[in-house]
């Protein structure tokens, strides 16, 4: 089995971004800047934002975190977003999700200016993606398409089964894989929590993209021999000795003997999400303002 090394593919993209930023710097141009709004102290969100900022540092991209208390009102959060919309030195920004219960995520995302929405979550960007128009593609699906391209996984005419229908991953992924303007041209089945007998579909899949947030959900008896598995899950599980580790939605050890290619967790899709985000920020920088 070939291990799809997202860390290596991501490092290559970050190196290319670094070179571009060095060129900008050498010619006295402004440097691109990404800002992350982090509300509260959810440990996973903190870790994700930390990894995003570290990647910016690696490439020379400017970055900042706006840390806000978990008790912040929707109105106050919206004021921060308005400020970033107007700030000419900020090319792109993200609001790390999930947000505390008192805040309506949809209302917040709607306020991010689409030209700075480098997470690609604004309805305008998602609508353009659906229509195959130029837009910011959500960072995780974008990173996955880059990874599939990088490893030259055949997609045209193939059956892709996406498991999970979240707005951030499953739904956009199903759209991207079925489009003909992108590289994919695949036939897509989107499975979710209400699908009867998910195995019936996954067993037919040439490529399975699993994003449901359940550790070791995808078992060896659910996968056709030779299939490619892209594991989007990041689940923290506790070992018998009380230590904990990150694991994906696929039973990696069992699937090693079944798949032709698979992404590990960590080191698969995660780093590619970050590469996708930085690519989007560079795109925002270069867009005509």
Q: In this structure, are residues 100 and 237 in contact, taking their beta carbons and an 8 Å threshold? A: no
Residues in a beta bridge with 162: 190, 209
Tell whether residue 249 is a contact of ligand GUN (CB under 6 A).
Answer: no
Residues in a beta bridge with 117: 93
Residue 110, helix vs strand vs coil: helix
- Provide, rounded to whole angstroms, the least separation between the CB of residue 169 and ligand GUN: 8
**Which spans in 219-268 are helix H?**
252-255
Tell whether residue 139 is a contact of ligand GUN (CB under 6 A).
Answer: yes
Segment (H or E) for 146: helix 139-150
Tell whether residue 81 is a contact of ligand GUN (CB under 6 A).
Answer: no
Between 95 and 162, name the residue whose CB sits nearer to ligand GUN.
95
Between 148 and 205, name the residue whose CB sits nearer to ligand GUN.
148
Q: How is the chain split among helix, strand and coil, in percent rounded to 5?
A: 40, 20, 40
Q: Which long-range contacts does 188-196 make (Cβ < 8 Å, 24+ apart)?
A: 188/159, 188/160, 188/161, 188/162, 189/159, 189/160, 189/161, 189/162, 190/162, 190/165, 191/161, 191/162, 191/163, 191/164, 192/163, 192/164, 192/165
Segment (H or E) for 127: helix 123-131
Tell whether residue 273 is a contact of ligand GUN (CB under 6 A).
Answer: yes
Point out which span in 1-9, 93-101, 156-164, 237-245 binds ligand GUN (CB under 6 A): 93-101
Selected from 53, 81, 94, 191, the binder of ligand GUN by CB under 6 A is 94
Between 222 and 279, name the residue whose CB sits nearer to ligand GUN.
279
Report the site for ligand GUN in 98-137 (rule: CB under 6 A): 119
Residues binding ligand GUN: number (CB under 6 A): 9
Tell whether residue 246 is a contact of ligand GUN (CB under 6 A).
Answer: no
Selected from 168, 184, 208, 232, the binder of ligand GUN by CB under 6 A is 168
Q: For residue 98, say if its preceding peptide bond is cis, omega within 30 degrees of 0.
A: yes
How far is 123 from 243, CA to CA, in rounded Å? 41
Active site residue 119: yes
Q: Which of 91, 117, 119, 206 is catalytic?
A: 119
Active site residue 96: yes
Active site residue 52: yes
Tell whether residue 140 is a contact of ligand GUN (CB under 6 A).
Answer: yes
Point out which span in 72-80, 88-96, 220-228, 238-246 binds ligand GUN (CB under 6 A): 88-96
Q: Which of 96, 116, 206, 231 is catalytic?
A: 96
Residues taking part in catalysis: 52, 96, 119
**Interacting residue ranges for ligand GUN, rule: CB under 6 A:** 94-97, 119, 139-140, 168, 273
């Amino acid at each position: 089995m070939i291990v799809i090394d997202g860390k290596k593919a991501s490092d290559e993209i970050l190196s290319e971004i670094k070179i571009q930023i060095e060129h900008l710097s050498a010619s006295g141009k402004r440097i691109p800047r990404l800002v992350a709004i982090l509300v509260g102290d959810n440990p996973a969100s903190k870790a994700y934002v930390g990894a995003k900022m570290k990647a910016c540092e690696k490439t020379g991209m400017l970055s900042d975190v706006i840390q806000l208390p978990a008790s912040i009102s929707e109105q106050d959060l919206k004021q921060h977003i308005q400020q970033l919309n107007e700030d000419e030195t900020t090319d792109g920004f993200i609001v790390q999700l999930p947000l505390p219960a008192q805040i309506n995520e949809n209302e917040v995302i709607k306020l991010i200016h689409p030209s700075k929405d480098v997470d690609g979550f604004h309805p305008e960007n998602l609508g353009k993606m659906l229509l195959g128009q130029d837009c910011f593609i959500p960072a995780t699906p974008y990173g996955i398409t880059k990874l599939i391209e990088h490893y030259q996984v055949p997609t045209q005419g193939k059956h892709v089964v996406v498991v999970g229908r979240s707005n951030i991953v499953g739904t956009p992924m199903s759209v991207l894989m079925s489009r003909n303007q992108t590289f994919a041209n695949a036939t897509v089945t989107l499975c979710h929590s209400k699908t009867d007998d998910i195995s019936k579909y996954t067993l037919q899949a040439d490529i399975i993209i699993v994003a449901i947030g359940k550790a070791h959900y995808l078992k060896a008896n659910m996968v056709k021999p030779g299939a490619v598995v892209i594991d989007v899950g990041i689940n923290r599980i506790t070992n018998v000795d009380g230590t904990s580790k990150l694991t994906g939605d696929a039973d990696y050890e069992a699937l090693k003997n079944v798949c032709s290619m698979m992404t590990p967790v960590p080191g698969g899709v995660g780093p590619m999400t970050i590469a996708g985000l930085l690519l989007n920020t560079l795109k925002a920088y270069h867009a005509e303002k």
